[in-house]
Amino acid sequence: MKERPKIIVGDKIVDEAMEMLRAEADVDLKIGITQPELEEIIENYDALIVRSVPKVTEEVIKRGKRLKVVGRAGNGVDNINLDAATRQGIVVVNTPDSNSFSAGEQTIALMLASARNLPQAHQTIKNGGWGRSLFMGSELYGKTVGIVGLGRIGSFVATRLNAFNMRVIAYDPYIPLERFKRFGAERIETLNDLVCQADFITVHTPKTEETIGMIGKEQFQLAKKGVRVVNCARGGIIDEKALAWALQDGIVASAGLDVYSKEPCTDNPLVEFDNVVVTPHLGATTYEAQRRVGTDLAHYVLDALKGEIVPNTVNIPCLLGEEIDTMRPLLQLAEYLGKLYYQLESVPLERVEITYHGEIAKKETGIITLAFLKGLLSPVMGDSVNLVNATWLAENRGLKVSEHLDETSASGHVSLISVVCAGNGTKAEYAGTLAWDMSPHIVQMNQYQIDVVPTPHMLFVEQHDRPGVVGFLASVLGEDKVNIAMMQVARKTKDEEAMMVLNIDSPAEEATLNKLRDSGKLVSVKVVNM
């Protein structure tokens, strides 16, 4: 019976998530565990779940010999040493999607509240007044909203504001055009162009050196007079001093803020403005979001322990949940292509060029390249290589990897992955595609055009294009009880060299392979295990 994995949970998550974990693993809840205690016991666990504490340091990771996944219940991963985890091939997952609905709804709530003066009107009535004429507001209908950052929450906001009949424009230099089209947003090339056109501006980017203060005095000076601003992302993305100046100068008509450069924000001058609606970082503060954080993380951790691809993996290119099923066949195809080189060639590899042709060039190709590298290195490094550490291992072997995108179709294929592997003056070329049923097919082996479905056991045989060779090969395999499931012969020119690719149902013994190699009828016989 297979041993159940062991999971340590270092902070509180919802009971439903704990029940999910305990259904498939042995779980120890260690709320308040100290750093020395964690370092002492981590060697016994396959997975670790944390919130902002405890810290997952390099020492923790080094001692976690069994550790396969670290899960962070929440968005940030500041308390996890990602470099150390990546080197050791440990998957790090978090749950930024889990509060996307709540944060997106908070954004729209603040946009409406600030545009219609709802808190001020509410308080006037609570104080015994009425003052209807004091609270003239602004509609969203027909206005232009500028969204800075079209990730998970930005795209959620875009689709909802489309329903308000707003013109939705967005700035995000890291998102492909396809995503803008999918969420009904018009792509704007520069931040300043977006600011010039927007009646409402809302930010949805992570807080990085690049994004801190990205909307400052320069942007407000370019903005329409009467622009309205919302920030439910991270404090400091909108420069607070510049925002105060723009409010004072009448450039900004209102602002809705849920986040601040310093929290709590009790001494923030922005709270003194009557036309600023403020909330105490409530973006993820809903019952549903907190439940989802725990249950989503439980799913991700359990799936990662099974070796499955999961969304929101921090240390490999991220896939959205709905993208995983469509990407899985492409990842499998890339891994198959990678497995070919070291099983067919004996020359050390120095350089790999991967080109994505057709529809595949519009997808998240970074993770497909990782799958290729995993396949490439696994025949020589075994199970120690995975999607997480494949790039790091390749770099440490001195392998240079380049990636090219070509949205035109190649050789009639809707999508094609072509690979050039070079080393010591030699070159090998492979290509593959997906068939109508999404099954992977290898369609090029060096100079040979083929159409082969990869299977666990395969023989790649080069031969002289002569009568009787195929019969001889089939006879030897038949005598040794090796069943041929599929066979394909490819050649360049009649009477020259040709290649046979055989899918066989079981491994060929070494004695059988030696019969073939010693016969003088074949140029080479190579075994490929997929």
For tokens 């006037």, the residue is 124
Q: Tell which residue, 304, 297, 294, 50, has the closest CA to residue 42.
A: 50
Q: Tell which residue, 214, 226, 230, has the closest CA to residue 277.
A: 230
Does the N-terminal peptide bond of residue 173 adopt cis geometry, omega within 30 degrees of 0? no
Query: C-alpha angle with apex 485: 483 to 466, nearest 5 degrees?
Result: 85
Contact 320, 311 (CB under 8 A): yes
> Residues, the chain, total?
530
From the centroid of its chain, how far is CA 373?
A: 16
Is 281 a catalytic site residue? yes
Whole-number Å distance between alpha carbons of 71 and 301: 6
- Residue 32's alpha-carbon distances to 12, 29, 36, 51, in angstroms, are 9, 10, 12, 11
Contact 161, 140 (CB under 8 A): yes
Non-local (6+) Cβ contacts of 267 within 8 A are none
Task: Count CB-CB contacts under 10 A for residue 139.
Answer: 13
Choice among 37, 43, 58, 263 that is catalytic: 263
From the centroid of its chain, how far is CA 290?
A: 23
Whole-number Å distance between alpha carbons of 30 and 9: 6
Q: Residue 506 has which token pair?
A: 């079981």
Is 87 a catalytic site residue? no
Choice among 160, 281, 328, 491 that is catalytic: 281
Choice among 204, 234, 292, 357 that is catalytic: 234
Which residues make beta-bridge pairs with 50? 72
DSSP state of 301: H
Whole-number Å distance between alpha carbons of 89 and 69: 9
Is 263 a catalytic site residue? yes
From the centroid of its chain, how far is CA 248?
A: 42
Which residues are annotated as catalytic?
234, 263, 281
